[in-house]
Amino acid sequence: MSCSMKQVVLHETKSFAFQNVEVPVPGEGQALLKMKAIGICGSDIHTYFGKHPFVHTPIVLGHEASGEIVSFGPGAHDGLKEGDRVVIRPQRTCGRCRPCREGRYNICESLNVLGCLSTGGSSEYFAVEHSILYKIPDTLSFAEGTVLEPLAVGVHAVKRAGDPAGKNILVCGAGTIGNVVAQAARGLGARNVIITDISEYKLDLARTCGISNTVNVKDANLRESVDRILGGEQLDLILECSAVESVLNDAIDIAPKGIGIVIVGVFEDMPKVDMAAVQDREYALLGTLMYTHEDYVDAIRLAGEQKADLKTLITKTYPFEQYAEAFQYVENNRATAQKVIIEL
């Protein structure tokens, strides 16, 4: 193995550069991965444009990342072995704060998200704790393996308001996260799942992924469409994935009294929300962040059992050498670039 490797750094807004760095040596409890695929996430795009509220340059991106285990540092490695195909759960947590003690380490007070708050996987090799590595099902490619991370986001979001089984669920926004939220809801046993957007392309993609109840809110009345689809039944849960102020308020407007509304999308600007309605109708307005180990296990199970379609979400792939071009493609094709993957 060469003692140096290529790594990509986002130095400033819309400015990537390759650099040569030492191949890391895995430390205690770590594994060295030969990186195979990096997914471009919506949060990466926010960072690329300098609009992410919590991620700042310079940064090595890559929190949706899969690879092959090359070697291990000292210590047991939880049944993993060299050659295993794995996906990373990109969370480092303290284990001491109150959220960690309560098992909610996804909101650790010192949460360190790889590729967001510290170095991510956009390198030829990456050393990472083996405790946050998961085997990719044999039926999935490395590229599809990267999409397990957003699917786990969907699983966690859907479970924020309790068990989704048997519920009527509305998902607002059919981008990648909205799509996997809807797929997670369906896979976890929801009675009916409805997804909305203004893009017929994204809604068609959702239908291909098995979400048959779609509403183009550019052309149809949301309340009337939901009533028609549910045949007089009421919604039990709404998940807002668009991060658009008007969409959130439309969801609040049609929500039956007393249900949960989960905020999944990351708002770039401060939204004005009808808090009087939230108070008067006793909605449970819930945030959601990332996932836990159990959510990753559920996501991998859903994908392995073919209850979630990850391949359809992949719009285009680029070689590692064209890292910047991949982001430029997303920038120039915002309406149709669902999930772009960089392969090594």
Helices and strands (DSSP H and E) totals, the chain = 11, 17
Q: Report, as an integer, the average pLDDT of 249-277.
A: 94
* Claim: this prediction has a pTM higher than 0.85: yes
- 8 A C-beta contact, residue 175 and residue 195: no
**For the chain, domain boundaries:** 4-147+310-343, 154-287
Q: Which pLDDT belongs to residue 2?
A: 57
Q: Are strands 125-129 and 213-216 parallel, antiparallel or unpaired?
A: unpaired
What pLDDT, on the 0 to 100 scale, is given for residue 211? Answer: 98
Tell me whether domains 4-147+310-343 and 154-287 share a fold.
Answer: no
Average pLDDT on 179-194 reads 98
* Rounded-to-integer distance, Cα 17 and Cα 15, Å: 7
User: Mean pLDDT across the chain, nearest whole number?
Assistant: 95
For residue 205, the model assigns a pLDDT of 97
Decide if pLDDT at 312 tops 70: yes
The residue-averaged pLDDT of 151-177 equals 97
DSSP secondary structure string for all residues of 135-166 = EPPTTS-HHHHHTHHHHHHHHHHHHTTS--TT
CATH fold of the domain at 4-147+310-343: Quinone Oxidoreductase; Chain A, domain 1 (3.90.180)
- Whether domain 154-287 has CATH 3.40.50.720: yes
Sign of CA dihedral 32, 37, 42, 44: positive
Q: Which residue intervals of 209-244 are DSSP H helices? A: 222-230
Q: What is the mean pLDDT of residues 99-105?
A: 97
